[in-house]
Structure 1
């Protein structure tokens, strides 16, 4: 499925000569930058098999596994390989993803949840299998929230008064209320105040106090609570030796703290090297991650056993489990000390799913890598990636492709470099060079009845068809010469449309309809046709990536319809 459509129909120029549309540079530049700002991503979150993104305009987008409706598409449970917008949300400031459920925090301090509710993680008071929600619902009587996080099947929320609240699965005391009782509505964690940050793992939790100390509770089988023991704790206990923490992160069964000096400390399960201390020995108290300084952010894979960190220079470093390429170093080799993820710089935010990872760049674009069996990388495929790839839906399209050309004839074909058009009356066929604005004549009937019926660009030339006494004859033309001639060919192939997109005409009106989105995307009346083309773009330091777009060809005019 291609990126979502944003219709941008360019105006019409009534000219008899070839003329590209030119806009006021300063006005166009400012409006385009404003549009980029609104569409940029600020935050990402990873679940077991799905991903979430928060845009600057307050909307939430989701992709990947959707078996419990965790993508927030009402009444649907289809997996999505590219992002779709979550319904009912428009002013979100934070997001979180659990195993098969999702959370959003709105600017008014309310919390919204959707997806699996088998352990009460939606917070609606039911908590029975089969009563999940495929679209967000508000958690009632719960407000003044400033931060959220989701564990495997439970959640934490931090209120503006520094208290922490929890709900969902409580098998190991991860809700911190002194019991192992499942909670279907939020309950306050006792003995915690002055909290500034929270973090959830598979079955254990952490909180950071204003004094820089870290507190933990829940499953402690691998020492992930950092209190020097392997005893499960049903209420918060203090992590040993951490007094100047500024950030925390919780993985499946390991934990991390970022100190004010930019160093990272880790403890708990280390079977994949996820503690980053150069070995695979379990640690029940914090140890320093080797060779890593100037860190500004961290993320840990729930269940997957890998860890990510962003340094002040915008580079991403990773260590631990790499079976699915979730470290992003181009390999599948586990790492017990940090390695740099490839092709990543200027990163402002990161997130980890079970065996996949995300990074947000400072320009609001998103990269993903790792396991992709449910489409959780959002790149339109189910192919796992060992190095970061762009999620095209969040990558700004070069605005040069918002275009209009008009000829005194009809445009037949076009690509990034050329346009093929025939003059009114079908007597002449012209090839126009978009780069230098020059053109050459491919065919002229010279007064004969042999008019052009079809024409298209080939890889390195032009193929066109003339009709002699009702018999089509086709020609292959290149650099001013006809190199081949054959009879009978009238079709040159078809374009593959984006998944779920249908074009049809009824009573003189042409419609572009998305079966995936269930809505009409574009329509026009009268003559003309819609063409879908895929071109390849690249930017400074970026790998090339394909981008698909629809165009309307009508009466010699070419309209760009933004996708």
Structure 2
């Protein structure tokens, strides 16, 4: 070390500087790690909750611990058989009058109304990781990030060729569909009469999505909820909803 460097006096830190330095070295990293842990927890809860419970227009589904499914509610088209469904399932989804269940091996089973091919009795084989049921259409997320679609497609909500992309979650409304991109934005397609499926999608740092009949929701990483679409009853306030939320769901109307 040179004499010049050796003769330099040590910097003098005042009380405020010392306090800030202590925070920088100790509290700030801990606070950041705590925030990141909370965000990871939010992502995990949001994705888990969307898989184990599902509500159709007049029926409900619940995934049992052993992999079977309990069903209750309206059953006029066998969408909610009272004895439930046995199997090795890992996720459920409910449409207006049809039901879906994802098997552990990537295939999905379907039952209920099938007037537009939304619930083929033999199910669908594939390497799927998530499912969503709309009014009369169905979506499945492939392991490669693309989306397969079945059922009613009068507004482009279920294109037979599917939707390519790098998606990590899906949601289906009555006549529209949503997909969460890996970059945190949302891609939308289908009916947009109330602004529920803007063609340009929605940019943001989202971790989960949900679709009602005519509105859409997205859970932000900070715990707040962004909303768009039909808001006649305050179900989709344009300014969103602030809070420390970990899961979201979109309701529908009694149109079944």
Please classify the TM superposition score into its range, dividing by the shorter chain length: 0.7 to 0.9
Q: Distance in 2 between matches of 1:363 and 1:392?
A: 9
Q: Which residue of 1 aligns with 2:96?
A: 202
Moved over 4 A (4+): 26-41
Q: Which residue of 2 aligns with 1:216?
A: 110
Contact 2:219 2:226 in 1 (8 A): yes
Q: Which residue of 2 aligns with 1:7?
A: none
Q: State which structure, 1 or 2, has the greater radius of gyration over its C-alpha atoms.
A: 1
Q: Alpha carbon RMSD of aligned pairs, Å?
A: 2.9
Q: Distance in 2 between matches of 1:39 and 1:244?
A: 28
Structure 2 residue 133 is matched with structure 1 residue 239: no
> TM-score, normalised to structure 2's length?
0.75
Q: Distance in 2 between matches of 1:163 and 1:243?
A: 20
Q: Which residue of 2 aligns with 1:345?
A: 204
SS of residue in 2 equivalent to 1:238 = coil
Q: Distance in 1 between matches of 2:165 and 2:234?
A: 33
Alignment of 1:419-498 (within 5 A): none
Q: Which residue of 2 aligns with 1:410?
A: none
Contact 2:39 2:222 in 1 (8 A): no
Contact 1:356 1:372 in 2 (8 A): yes
Q: Distance in 2 between matches of 1:35 and 1:315?
A: 21
- The 1:41–1:368 alpha-carbon spacing in structure 2 relative to 1, beyond 3 Å, is farther
Q: Which residue of 1 aligns with 2:231?
A: 372
Q: Distance in 1 between matches of 2:146 and 2:31?
A: 41
Note the residue ranges of structure 2 that are not aligned, 5 or more in a row.
Answer: 1-18, 246-256
Q: Distance in 1 between matches of 2:74 and 2:31?
A: 47
Q: Distance in 2 between matches of 1:311 and 1:268?
A: 23
SS of residue in 2 equivalent to 1:94 = helix
Contact 2:176 2:191 in 1 (8 A): yes
Alignment of 1:89-238 (within 5 A): 94=49, 147-175=52-80, 177=81, 187-189=83-85, 192-225=86-119, 227=120, 237-238=121-122
Instruction: Give the Å deviation of 1:366.
Output: 2.1
> TM-score, normalised to structure 1's length?
0.36
Contact 2:77 2:112 in 1 (8 A): yes
Q: Which residue of 2 aligns with 1:87?
A: none
Q: Which residue of 1 aligns with 2:221?
A: 362
Structure 2 residue 253 is matched with structure 1 residue 253: no
Richer in strand (by share): 1
Count matched residues. Answer: 222
Q: Which residue of 2 aligns with 1:483?
A: none
Q: Distance in 1 between matches of 2:41 and 2:219?
A: 7
Richer in helix (by share): 2
